[in-house]
Structure formats: structure tokens, C-alpha cells
Amino acid sequence: MSVVEHVREMASAGLHSNVRLLSGLLLTMSGNNPELFSPSQKYQLLVYHADSLFHDKEYRNAVSKYTMALQQKKALSKTSKVRPSTGNAASTPQSQCLPSEIEVKYKMAECYTMLKQDKDAIAILDGIPSRQRTPKINMMLANLYKKAGQERSSVTSYKEVLRQCPLALDAILGLLSLSVKGAEVASMTMNVIQSIPNLDWLSVWIKAYAFVHTGDNTRAINTICSLEKKSLLRDNVDLLGSLADLYFRAGDNKNSILKFEQAQMLDPYLIKGMDVYGYLLAREGRLEDVENLGCRLFNISDQHAEPWVVSGLDCYEGLIECYLASNSIREAMVMANNVYKTLGANAQTLTLLATVCLEDPVTQEKAKTLLDKALTQRPDYIKAVVKKAELLSREQKYEDGIALLRNALANQSDCVLHRILGDFLVAVNEYQEAMDQYSIALSLDPNDQKSLEGMQKMEKEESPTDATQEEDVDDMEGSGEEGDLEGSDSEAAQWADQEQWFGMQ
């Protein structure tokens, strides 16, 4: 087995990182000694190397290597005989399974689409003769033509997909979206519907989505409901999602939310349509549900638009934090006020506005009022609790802060809240419980640096028990008046330590 065959086997096995390393080394060897590999072997190495780059999402580099491979293939096709390579005389193009030139062009088009270079993608696929185009090539061309506004070419390509694969439902939707009549589309699938059992629903499905794309929401809803009620298609997530979207278009928000919730229960990882669902929840003032939805969607995937749309309040928050970090308080205040006016007075917007107010001594009282309103709405809202604790710390109202934090931690456990509670307990000389709170915080987040620093500082300081014993000895040895003065100095030093402590946190 030749070394190129080893590369081919690794590529087939999906060992992309291994292929990349070995093929890169072999291509360098070929460059230094052109006689080392035959033209067909070099073509293979270039294709496999490009494939590994594509897998690593290095699309521009992959296009470069695919282009070199096609140039090598063109030179190869001009020669009737290929010279055997040194040490690999038995290897000939006839005995080798060369990567398809058409497949190479398709992968180049994929690279171009990932790079948002649709014109280049169309150009490379247009260069493939019509008879040699596979269904996936026609499908990509159809989508690219549609995006570019070339509707006639798009329709032709979609029809070619259906000719080869009559059950390509996305191609059917593509045709319907381009105003091809439902009856014409259905006629292209009739033979397969009649020849395969349990496919009688397909003609109704096509009819339903024909109504969708003509804007006839009422008839679309009725038709999809008739499909959804059939026992074999009951609880289909795609149908429920389509119904939810249609109800939304028709202005029936209540039924839209209901269908989105049914779809979510069936598929907890559903992303499609969740941006509309988040909008509907926000319209109803269910912003806590919107926040939870955004977190859940980001845990599923951050490569789709829906999580970012749902978390648009978080994007505002990030922008405001950037303004504050750059000391652009005025711009931050304008943005916070805009969010407040747009989304209304809720715990999130109140806290966001209070965060900006805390940056200006003049608006401290306003910040306090805003935070109190936020905590009245949601006593367990962590961000509001943290900001209120920050305000109480500035005012040295440590007992009030402890009460606030204990109340917030009654029904939840959060690293930041436990750490701040630890800081407040240090301020009132409750060292043992402070150590416990830091330990809990670190158990929730072992990388929380501030909790670790708090614990280490306490470990370095003298324990309160030893300090009390030394004070008792001093009281016994000294006079009462002197003892009072020493106690006063000790207390002052203790408060100074506490102020230094909070300054460091």
C-alpha cells in the first residue's frame, strides 16, 4: 500500500487532523522533488489536504488547495500515460480511485457560500455540465439562484431536483415560494405517491404550503390542522411550528404561543421559530421566560439567529457595559433609557437603568429607588440583588446587606451571592460563616478568583479567637483607662482593616 493510499484511508475514516498533517508534509516533499509522486497522486493529496482544511473551517485556504487540485487534474487529463513515481511503479490512475472532479467543485462552492461569495459559488457550479449535476448540486444552485433573484433558473434547478428525488420536500417548498402552482408541483410527485403506501397525505401537505406561500393564512391553518389531526402525523413538530407561525401572522397570539409550547415539549432542542416565540412572550410581559428561553437556546446552538434575537435585552446590556467601561456614562444613560421605554418597567430594565445611575453620585438615590422597584417585582433577581448589595456596601449598611442576601439565597444558590455574603460577614466579624460562604461559592465555581482571594486573606490573618485572648491579657495587666484607650485603638484598626478589605474586593 502506497503512502497516498494510507492518506485516502485516513480521509475515509474521518481522521481529518491526521490527514492534514501528513498530506501537508507529502506535498512539501513533492514540491522539492517533482518526480516523487505521479500527477494523479499529487491530485489526490491536494484534494485530501483541502478536505481537511474545509473540516477545520479554513475556507479560503481550502479553496486555494481545491483550485490547485483542479489544475493538476486538468494537466492529468491531457496525458494518456502517467509516469510511475519512484518506489510506487505499481500505482497508476487506473488502479486508483481518484476523487471526483465534480465533488471537488461542489466543495469549492460550499466554501464560497460560507465566505458569502455567492457569485463565485454560482460560477463554479454553472461550469458543471447539466447532465453531470447531482441532486445536491442542483439544490445548491436553486437556492443560490433564488437568493440572487434569478427566479427562472431557480425554478429549473428545483424541478431538476424533484425529477431525480420526487420526495425532496424542501425543493417543493422552494418551488411554492417562487409562485409555482401547487397543482403543478403535486403532479411531479404523483407517481411516487401512488406507488408507495401511506403517502396519501403528501398532496394535502403540498396544498397546505401552497396556501402558506400565497398568504391565505386561514385556509393554510385549516389544511395543516386537518393534517395534524390525522393519527400518523399527530404531534409533528414541523407542522406545529408552521401552525404557530401562521397563527402569529393571522394575529392570533394566544394560539401561536400554545402551538410553540406544544412543539417545545415534543422537541426541547427546537430552534426554528423560537425568535417569534420570544417576541410573543415579551409582548405578554413574560420577560423572565424570555431570559430563560435565550439561555436555553444558546446552550443548544449559538450558530443560529434565533438565540441572538431572543437575547436582544442581553445585547443591550453588553453595549451599556461597554459604554460604562469606556467612561461614556451619557451614552450609557441614553441607551438604558431607550431600553426602559421600549420594554417597559420590569426587573431587567429597572436594574439596567439603576446600574448606570450607580455610576454617578448625583443619581444614587434614583438607583436605590429603581432597584427597590425591581426587587419588588422579582425578589430573587440576581442582578438586582447584586447591585443593591453594592449600594448597601457603599453606605456601610452591612446588616441590611446580609438580610438582603440571605433572603435571595433562600430559594436559590449562586456563586456571586454567596461570595458577596461572605464579604459582608467579614465586615461584621462573622469570620467562620464568611469562610463557609466562600467555600460554597468555590464549590459552585472553582474558578471564582474573588472568593479564593477572600478565603486566602482570612487564612493569613490572625484568627479572632487568638485576638480576643490577647486583648483579655492586656486588660488584666493594664489599668482600666489604658485598657479603654487600647480597646479604642483596636476597634479603629479593625474598622480600617474592614474598609481596606472592601476596597480590595
Side chain identity at residue 52, one-letter code: S
What's the CA gap between 258 and 255, in Å, rounded?
5
C-alpha cell at 378: 422579582
CA dist., res. 283 & res. 343, Å (int): 9
CA 91 to chain centre: 47
The pLDDT of residue 474 is 53
**Grid coordinates belonging to 106:** 461542489
Kindly give the parts of the chain with pLDDT less than 50.
80-95, 467, 473, 478-488, 492, 495-496, 499-505
Q: Which three cell numbers stand for residue 470?
A: 490577647
Long-range contacts of 1-4 (CB under 8 A, 24+ apart): 2/41, 2/88, 2/91, 4/37, 4/41, 4/44, 4/45, 4/88, 4/91, 4/96
**Alpha-carbon torsion (394, 399, 402, 403), positive or negative:** negative
The answer to whether the beta carbons of residues 141 and 160 sit under 8 Å apart is: no
Cell of 345: 418597567
What is residue 83's DSSP assignment? P
C-alpha cell at 149: 433573484
- Helical (H) or strand (E) element with 256: helix 253-266
- Retrieve residue 172's grid coordinates: 417543493
Distance CA(397)–CA(391), nearest Å, equals 9
Supply the pLDDT for residue 463: 53
